[in-house]
Structure 1
Amino acid sequence: MTDGDGDMTDGDGPEGGRSRATRWGTAGCVAAVAALLAGLPWAAHDRLPDRLATHWSGGSAPDGSSPLWAVSLFPAGLWLLIALGVSVRRRRSRPAVRPWRAIALAPTATSLVGAQASLVRANLDRADWHEAREPALDIVLILAGMAVAGVLAWRWSTRPGTASAPGTPGLNLPEGERLVWFSRAANHWLQLLAALAGLVAAGALVALAVGPADPTALWPVCGCCCVAAVACAAFSSVQAKVSEAGLEVSFGPLGWPVRRWPPAAIESARSERRLPSQVGGWGYRLSGLGTTVMLRAGDCLVIRPRGRRTDFAVSVDDAERGAALLNALRQRT
């Protein structure tokens, strides 16, 4: 449809500025957590023994200790290694959507800082590390803090944004010229699940036909596996087509069921980056963002049907060109 193969954003535009700001913000948070882990024991060193109790094996008395410098530097070094390992990414053909970075780092930072604070508190004002007592209640508070941090990070990382679609894409379509855009996507895990469920259903049917098995136990298994196989196969792949007739979205290897919207029934079309965690998982999902056919994370073709308050989105490749052609056809009609 067009001959442009390059990326629509570069490092000098708004997206590049946001990306740099995110990287610097992440680096600052990592450095702040490392400084906190290393500084907590040193801030109270005059109230701590020469060696600090660091391990309890089920009893109230500690059975392991470490010097102050090790208690200070080891958690900070471990945190920096974890942050570095999570931040390294392989080169890919397209930008990766990585909300799990914050989801992994936030609970980890909470647990390390909580454990460090608990360790300092257990040894505070003790003449010898053998007098320290196991902070059992602190463990519960640390686990609760990890859960809260994980939920907050998940909500922040997967919140819907408008940065991925700065404007409504358009296309200069000459009068009388007809163009067609076609794209598809597939989820191989759903296809594998459909195949496995189909095999189990076939095995149950064979067992029923042979006769020695108990029919009352096999019929529910056969029925559930058949339903699962058909549902997974139907929504394991999707095809989107934009033409003079509008948008047509068909499902499964047979191209059925099908949903259609003529150009006049579409209020707007755009490309938007979405994640499974935003819409509630994989497959045909209903959420606060509307209806989403989610087969892989990344760009989605999103339309707003006329007269509706929610969107319909389908995860297919080259969604921006499809949205541009759909907007051109909509303006023509």
Structure 2
Amino acid sequence: MRDTKAARRATAAVWTVGVTAVLAAMPLLARDRLPERLATHWGLNGEAPDGSMPLWAASLVPALIWLVTAAAVTVPLTRAGPPGRPLTTVLLLPMGIVLTGAQAAVIRSNLDRADWHEARQPTAWVVAILVAAVLAGVAGWLIVTRRRGTADAGTASGEGAPALDIPEGRRLVWFARTANPWLQLVAAAIGLVALGALVAQAGGVAAPGTLWALFAGCAAGSLACAVFSSVQARVSERGLEVSFGPLGWPGRRWAPGDIDTARMEVRRPAQVGGWGYRISGLGTTVMLRAGECLVIRPRGRRSDFAVSVDDAERGAALLNALRTKEARG
């Protein structure tokens, strides 16, 4: 638990410090192609700028605004307890995108201008930034509010494959989720590099086309780490459903009749070849932490599928009970 909390704090720190660095560095990296003062504000009724800042202020002020805003959002919600903490994702993600996008728009508008009065209002950029921020906010909301099943099962009993007695007329559901916070931290760090490359490229800081390969590689790596940094397992009358990532996609499903047996087994990364989605002599294992795993043997297959989740024995017991119930008709 301490490791998880430490990793979450580290992820938040990486995002906060990384966005600060991007905001502060962009004007400085492009200073040879910028005027002494940068146009930073445009009137609502025209394209001509009506406000400006010196280069040092254009670098420092957005970074300070971000730091103050991040602190104002994070500290109260963290003190509010666990229910408030997920809201930091919903709020900080779009806010960081808005500020970095706005900084990129300012840099691009002033690029290669002799005087800040020549800069023109970046209307298309503003629209694109707002759309990206809304999409990020919606994605963050979906992540923290995604429906999760609740466990409602008795005590597993019996030898060998565990089983449960399901009372007549009752529908039982078992749910478990496991996350590897260090993979999430890696995803955030690589994603930040991708964001910096995209903003630098779009803002004109780098030569055209030089950072697209870096952006594409880091974005793909960040997405892969994010998808396989968490897993959810759900057992219901539909069978076993295993889904990956914060949005629960992609996923795999087995109906009760598609499973021969289910059991709990203790596995470690060294046994299955490492972390993540692994294929070994033990079959397929989704290994996010060492310890108990829910293991099934799909019907007609010679290898197992295992997923590392807590309370795996109870999930296996319910799955076996559902399988037996379906076989009896």
The TM-score normalised by the length of structure 1 is 0.49
Greater C-alpha Rg = 1
